[in-house]
Chain A
Amino acid sequence: MTDALFTANNLWLMICTALVFIMHLGFGFLELGMTRQKNAINIFFKNFFVITMGILVYYLVGFNLMYPGFSDGSPGILDFAGFGLSLPGGESIDYAGGGYTYWTDFLFQAVFAATAATIVSGAVAERVKLEGFMIFSLLYVAIAYPIVGSWQWGGGWLSQLGFHDFAGSTLVHSVGGWAALMFVYFLGPRIGKYQDGRTNAIPGHNLPLAAAGVLILWLGWFGFNGGSVLSAEPNATSLVLVNTCLAASAGAIVAFLVAKISFKSFDLTMLMNGVLGGLVGITAGADQMSVIESIVIGGLSGVIVVYGITLLDTVLKLDDPVGAIAVHLICGIWGTLAVGLFGDLASGSQFIYQAVGVGVIGLFCVITSSIFLLITKYTVGIRAKRDFEIQGLDCTEHAMDAYSDFQTK
């Protein structure tokens, strides 16, 4: 390992950090576009809070809870290396095998942590109480996300078992998705979404902006998956990016075809959810798959995401304006299990390890989310006041208009 290679590796990881950071703009645009204009300010307020609070809290506790440096013989369930950041001894090429510096490590992981919380934001949009959302996401990023992360990426019991989750189909996306599911369950649907057993459509107010959000998220995934190689190793990095893009493309094409056959329309929002479903699906095994396997995983994600959205929306009556639960939770589970079915690791025992990881993490996330939601519900509350929700959260909670003076046509 030369200094030049160390510099190149670290530079790549910093570029990836910036790409994952810009995913927060993608999430913001997607959520904004898929909801009504009366809540636009509220949505960006939540999204800004998540990234800013996320980085601070990850600095304070998250990083050292997720990477506590389990000692030999430790069960690898829970450990904490102390508050804040401190430069470990011998800060140099030796840290992480020359892949990146300690500082890059922290920031790369911090923008990931905020991603898990921002997944929740889209699912609860338009009726969540701002204070309740803030407290819940703070607790979730500070405690639940890093503990789960420590089991795998921190060298804990799941990694010792043989579980594989390359960039976080489960560790990031499903962890966010489970919280989104529980939050939506506790919160209930938006007023007017379900009437007399009928499901009403609440169309988003700016689909071009949502489309920009999806393309920005896809761009961010170059960093999300590309950076998870944890160095700029040429072969691995390039293959991961190829697999990522093929899965996204296959997800989009399959999703729009499934939607066209099922609903008789070319639904842009379903196509976009197909892109995201494919991306989440390939995230667990982007380093293990051949290109054909990536296309299969992405394509099946496209089927899963369309029927997942319809199942949640019309059968289970869980109101998720942006489709976050179907994209991040269901496709995340699929992608994680797919590592046991396709690619270099595929085997019966690997499938069991994957299933154990999905199941235990799911259970942990459901329990912690429920506890945090109950705490939040009985202190500040989780649901916006009824008349605030009807008038719009922008003018009631924020005393602002998102588009003051703006007119179309």
Chain B
Amino acid sequence: MKKIEAIIRESQFLKVRDALKNLGVKHFTYWDVTGVGKEKQPHVYRGVNYESSAINRRFISLVVSEDLLDAAIEALLDSASTNEVGDGKIFVLPVEKSIRIRTKESGPSSL
């Protein structure tokens, strides 16, 4: 089992969600995050120009079985991309154990 963490543009979220769904990913978790990076967003407030270094992105987290891993990464790369700077990043981490609370079953079948 592997955990995939991806930071993506909010605007790509629906495409990413549908791509993962089509792949057979039954559920995943996401939340809105703010980060600091190279991108500066220009703002004007009452005649004063300023740049906000705060970048808004969506963070998604899912755990997949080994046989789904490559397809899931492929789907993410494809659906999250706009080919502009700032499309985000994907991280893959090993997962030691996974348990479904209701049935107490563990392993890939609990995903």
Contact = CB atoms under 8 A, between A and B. Distances in A.
Nearest to A263: B47
B50 interface: yes
A201 B48 CA distance: 6
Interface stretch (A160-168, A240-248, A264-272, A365-373): A264-272
B57 to A, nearest CB: 13
B45 A201 contact: yes
A314 interface: yes
Contact of A199 (B32, B43, B44, B48): B48
B104 interface: no
A313 interface: yes
Chain A, interface residues (CB within 8 Å), range? 20 to 34
A259 B44 CA distance: 11
B47 A310 contact: yes
Nearest to A200: B50
Contacts of B50: 200-201
A30 interface: no
Interface string A312-323: 011000000001
B3 to A, nearest CB: 24
Interface in B1-50: 32, 43-50
Interface of A: 199-203, 259, 262-265, 267, 269-270, 306, 309-310, 313-314, 323, 409
Nearest to B10: A409
5 contacts: A267-B47, A269-B46, A270-B47, A313-B47, A314-B48
Contacts of A265: 44
Contacts of A409: 32
Contacts of B44: 201, 263-265, 267
B47 A259 contact: yes
Contacts of A310: 46-47
A339 B43 CA distance: 39
B32 to A, nearest CB: 6
Contacts of A269: 45-46
A270 B46 contact: yes
A201 B32 contact: no
Contacts of A313: 46-48
A265 B48 CA distance: 11
Given A201-B43, A314-B47, 11 more contacts: A199-B48, A259-B47, A263-B44, A264-B44, A265-B44, A267-B44, A267-B46, A270-B46, A306-B47, A309-B47, A313-B46
A201 B47 CA distance: 9
Contact of A203 (B32, B45, B47, B49): B45
Contacts of A314: 47-48
A98 B101 CA distance: 80
Nearest to A266: B44
Contact of B45 (A262, A264, A267, A306): A267
Contacts of A203: 43, 45
Nearest to B32: A409
Contacts of B49: 201, 263
A267 B47 CA distance: 8
B111 to A, nearest CB: 27
A71 B43 CA distance: 59
A311 to B, nearest CB: 10
B22 to A, nearest CB: 26
Contacts of A202: 45
